[in-house]
Structure 1
Amino acid sequence: ATFRAETGGTPGLSNNIVPDFLELPDGNLWIATFHGLDLLDTRNNQLSHFFAQRGEPFCLSNNLIRALFQDRSGILWIGTDGGVNKLNLRHKPFRIIRFDQPGVVTNSIATDICNGGQPGNLWVSVNGGLNSVSGSQVRHYTLVPERLRDFANFITAVWRDTDGWLWVATQGAGVLRVRETDVPAGGGRLSNLEQLCKNSPTPRINDDYVMSLFDSGSRRLWMGLWDGGIELYDRNTGQIRHLQAAGQYNLTAFPNVALLEKTEQGRPVLFIGTRGNGLLKCTFDPASQSLQVAQHYRFSAGRKGSLSNDKVNALFTDSRQRLWVCTSGGLNLLEADGQSFRIFTQAHGLPSNIIQSILEDGEGKLWVSTQNGIASLQLLDEDVRIQAYDVFDGLQDNFFSNHCAARLPSGQLCFGGANGISLFNPSNIRPDSIPPLTRISDFLLFNRSVP
């Protein structure tokens, strides 16, 4: 077969000047031209074209291609008149789902993720509504409650409880809920919503700006407010308990952005992560429905083992019931003494000190999202092994949102950020087994090269 640049709409080479070409192990052919890069599928003689695009950081830097080379690890190196470009031809295990709607200006930044009622289904909130994800199918919903409609689609958290209710926390419209079975299948406007806000009929909440949701598993739903304290919703009675203080501590002083309840010595304990005042450990008395501060963890410069930063982004307990605290100054592990933290930062290999979310996979390995990609983390006695991944590995973006993560029943992990969500199976991610070649480029003796 002969291939050349054609006119009149017939697909062909991008340009007839071909300075180089490269055959892949599968028989396909990369073709360098003076006006772009072509890939020939030799099974059906179909050509794909790749061009430089202004403003696109992950496209060719220049359309005039002069040389091609593939290294031992499967990387394709592309020499252009605008520099050397790099393309990873190996299988990328990260799947991306985006939420931009054709012809509609939307905010596609994912803000939270939770599992749906059917295995593999996800609910993903964005600052522009709610999305249902089933396989590759995405349905978008615009929330239309009775009150405060202008703020209803600025969503901070989403959660599905064991009774099948879908709870949505918003920045200005309080908390909305709807039975998952009552959500129309095709997307669109969602108006059959129950609403908890300052002006709703009983029950009401103290603040319409809701930062976080946490279901205890004991039919207690905790709601962290911006400056109204904490709400405790009893799923048995439908009653709300307003908590503006924990003993002498004022719960309204700082935004309560992350909540986590666990049991210690047979008693419920609520951990409260704040935006600027560290982490609170509170005992909860179910009889009086009151909180008492048992420990206040804060950053203290120069004190070893203190919380690394007072801005808490997410809380997590692993399979060994250890508490992990994601902060804007590193990842913190609460030590067994309950008083101090072991801290992990960029100095240990994390891609950023701003840790947004954390999950655990089926093999006990931890995964964190940051403002500069994601990373896996394995504790090895006193050592730690960290592997970082970024947008060049196939992530949706390097920026991820705080507490925006979920583990699917299948074992897949999902993290959300600036351009949608990244979904992957941790067992499919293996370290590079091809060691780099070692070459001695120079030998110095008394700071002078020795021939």
Structure 2
Amino acid sequence: MRFLLPTIFLFLFTSCNGQKNKPIETKEFKVYTDADIVTSSLLDRNGNLWFGTSTEGLYKYNGEKFSNFNESNGLCTNQIWNIIEDDKGIIWLATNKGLCKYNGNTFTQISLPYIDTSSDWYKDIYPTINPNQANSIIQDNDGMLWIGTSGGGAYKYDGNTFESILADKGRKFEDSLHHNVVQSIIQDKNNNIWFASMSNGGITRFDGETFKDFKSENGLSDNMVRYLYQDNMGNIWIGTNGNRNGGLDKFDGNNFINFNKKNGLCANNVAVVFQSTDEKLWLGSDWGALCYFENGKFNSFDKLSGIAIRTIIEDKKGNLWFGGRKGNLWKYDGEQLIDLTQLKNE
């Protein structure tokens, strides 16, 4: 299925004057592991695609070729979890070192306010969790930034000051602290801000004045929520981690409808949701499954079976791009599927 690049030497033919040319060696394959993830994607106002990764930094695709930004050429860090473009055209990255913004020339790091939620129990159970890591970021219609963290709740950021919110949501762990991981944030068509908690906090809606929680007792299939997305009709889709009765939930503003493998969902773990221009709702899973929801039915996209999908984006020409674990990056034009996993490094 994958288009492989040759790893042998390529020899040029002898030139017409009989002089032999030196052999040219192609780039060897990069060996990827599950820790190498294409985590996030963005289509900017100029039609460029951006891809964040967990180990390789940032890729930009201008329609013809890829450019890579990493720590060696100025990027704040090679570990990126989310990407947005603000109303001024600035690219913002949610990273393991807080925020990183790119004005087209330079990268600037902005650390989150340092909080120490560590404990002996937490260090033993979750040694890699960093509450000062930015997991998710959006800009609302008023220009405010909202940032979700990996254990410290969320922040509201006006460009100068950080305001801490939701740090005490979700389950209290054995050390009596919440460690609220906010994996996803969206703003809906009514200007409400929604936050997803992976720490058994369910989802929280902020209407500009008050916060309202929705959990399993309100209709959610599970309280460990990974992803939030609003479709063209205004429905909120909630992807859960797949624990217990978890799967995919649809919220129409009044009620929750639950979907899981029993009624056709390809995997109960839903890591990303995206609606393409043809109205299909694409669902990627960290459990190696991809499907789309159309006319009330789930359809498995078997061409990428077994590949963990973490981000989906559509370019200006209508091609879909799928990124995930092991450095996977694929482009799909509706008929042909092209593997760009290795080609993005050329």
Question: Could you tell me how far apart the structure 1 residues matched to 2:227 and 2:156 are?
Answer: 19
Could you report, residue by residue, the CA deviation over 1:351-375 in whole angstroms, capped at 9, with x for unpaired residues? 2110111111223221111123211
TM-score, structure 1 as length reference: 0.56
Report the Cα offset of residue 239 of structure 1. 2.2
* 1:398 aligned residue: 307
TM-score, structure 2 as length reference: 0.71
Can you give the 5+ residue segments of structure 2 that lack an aligned partner in the other structure?
Answer: 1-26, 115-129, 172-177, 337-346
* 2:252 aligned residue: 335
Q: Tell me which of the two structures has the higher relative contact order, counting C-alpha pairs closer than 8 angstroms and 6 or more residues apart.
A: 2
* 1:415 aligned residue: 322
1:284 aligns with 2:197: no
* 1:269 aligned residue: 192
Report the Cα offset of residue 212 of structure 1. 0.5
* 1:79 aligned residue: none
* 2:137 aligned residue: 213
| Local SS of the residue matching 1:363 | coil
Question: Could you tell me how far apart the structure 2 residues matched to 1:250 and 1:310 are?
Answer: 8
Give matches, 1:52-131, under 5 Å.
102=28, 108-119=36-47, 121-128=48-55, 129-131=57-59
* 2:164 aligned residue: 243
The 3 A distance-change label for structure 1 pair 178 and 422 is same
Could you report, residue by residue, the CA deviation over 1:275-331 in whole angstroms, capped at 9, with x for unpaired residues? 12211112224xxxxxx222x22224xxxx721121211111111111111112211
Report the Cα offset of residue 105 of structure 1. 6.2
Report the Cα offset of residue 175 of structure 1. 0.7
Report the Cα offset of residue 253 of structure 1. 4.2
The 3 A distance-change label for structure 1 pair 158 and 378 is same
AA at the equivalent of 1:376: Y
* 2:239 aligned residue: 326
The 3 A distance-change label for structure 1 pair 102 and 198 is same
| Local SS of the residue matching 1:355 | coil
RMSD: 3.0
Report the Cα offset of residue 249 of structure 1. 5.4
* 1:378 aligned residue: 294
Assess if the C-alpha contact under 8 Å between 2:166 and 2:180 holds in 1: no
AA at the equivalent of 2:111: C
Assess if the C-alpha contact under 8 Å between 1:227 and 1:253 holds in 2: yes
Query: What is the aligned length?
Result: 279
Moved more, 254-263 or 312-321: 254-263
Report the Cα offset of residue 259 of structure 1. 0.6
Q: Which has the larger radius of gyration?
A: 1
Question: Could you tell me how far apart the structure 2 residues matched to 1:396 and 1:165 are?
Answer: 36
* 1:46 aligned residue: none
Give matches, 1:417-432, under 5 Å.
417-418=324-325, 419-426=327-334, 428=335
Question: Could you tell me how far apart the structure 1 residues matched to 2:203 and 2:236 are?
Answer: 12
Question: Could you tell me how far apart the structure 2 residues matched to 1:102 and 1:315 are?
Answer: 38
Report the Cα offset of residue 425 of structure 1. 3.4
Question: Could you tell me how far apart the structure 1 residues matched to 2:153 and 2:70 are?
Answer: 28
* Higher strand fraction (1 or 2): 1
Could you report, residue by residue, the CA deviation over 1:180-223 in whole angstroms, capped at 9, with x for unpaired residues? x31xxxxxxxxx321111479xxxxx953111111223312211
The 3 A distance-change label for structure 1 pair 249 and 311 is closer
The percent of aligned pairs where both chains have the same amino acid is: 20
* 1:84 aligned residue: none
The 3 A distance-change label for structure 1 pair 281 and 165 is same
> Which of 260, 268, 279 is the equivalent residue of 1:353?
268
Can you give the 5+ residue segments of structure 1 that lack an aligned partner in the other structure?
Answer: 1-100, 183-191, 201-205, 286-291, 430-451
Assess if the C-alpha contact under 8 Å between 2:266 and 2:298 holds in 1: no
Assess if the C-alpha contact under 8 Å between 2:169 and 2:201 holds in 1: no
Question: Could you tell me how far apart the structure 2 residues matched to 1:193 and 1:145 are?
Answer: 10
Could you report, residue by residue, the CA deviation over 1:392-427 in whole angstroms, capped at 9, with x for unpaired residues? x2x3852112xx22232333322211132222234x
The 3 A distance-change label for structure 1 pair 142 and 366 is same
Could you report, residue by residue, the CA deviation over 1:52-87 in whole angstroms, capped at 9, with x for unpaired residues? xxxxxxxxxxxxxxxxxxxxxxxxxxxxxxxxxxxx
